[in-house]
Structure 1
Amino acid sequence: MEYQEKHLAENIRNDMGMNEEELQEMREADVDDETLHALSLAGRVEWKKRILYYANLLNSEMKKILDNELALGNRISDAHCDYPEQGSIHVTLAEKFKGNYKEQNVKYTKGNDPHYWFEDYTSLNQPRHMILH
């Protein structure tokens, strides 16, 4: 597979949350690249909706931090729920925190673990909400 085709396949797989096997199954089922690309675009829209949905569930202190980071030019790269516990929301930023925050009921931790994340702001109330980088 040429570089450009491989790069397109990787983008499609990543955008749709597919693993290599699932992408290969779609190719073997004669799903053409144009259809895969259309599915990828639909997947991106759903992904963006999910991120916005979870970001809007953050508590007010965490929303202040997130809003400020976005205003400073940072971007959200992902968002999920139910980690570290049921009902938790965590939002991952694309870059290091650009600001320094001292919100009430929020704790800053510098973890610096490249396997997980480098730093985070975590709410002290339950369920915990986290903003990570």
Structure 2
Amino acid sequence: MVVGSFHDHYHNLTYKHVMGLRWVNHNCPQAKYVVKADDDAFINILSLQDLMYRTFGKSSSIPHNTLACNVLPEGTIPQRAGKWAVTKNDYPWNKYPPYCAGLAYLLTPHLAGQLFRAAHVPSPPA
């Protein structure tokens, strides 16, 4: 468990993910891959190992920029009201591009480092 110094709230999920990416980047650079999962997700480790073997074969090396997740399709419409609301300020577009669902995902430490560094680049104006 990685613990940060900010209010644990749904609207702070980005901070939580970036903090996790930082932790992986600093503490697990030699791992083959890492898995991020919500506390209510169930990960069958044996099935995951089997999937990795079927995907990458006997090779112990996984491509450096690997990200495995449940991809939600392009065109998903942001919810503008309710618990998971995304404001126009936060996301001004009417549809999302394809994106990873947040319940669980697998990535390489190399990619975690790249994403951590990218998180500190200012966004262009909408």
Q: TM-score range by the shorter chain?
A: under 0.3
Higher relative contact order, structure no. (Cα contacts within 8 Å, ≥ 6 residues apart) = 2
Larger Rg: 1
Under a length normalisation based on structure 2, what TM-score does the superposition of the two structures give? 0.26
More helix by share: 1
Under a length normalisation based on structure 1, what TM-score does the superposition of the two structures give? 0.25
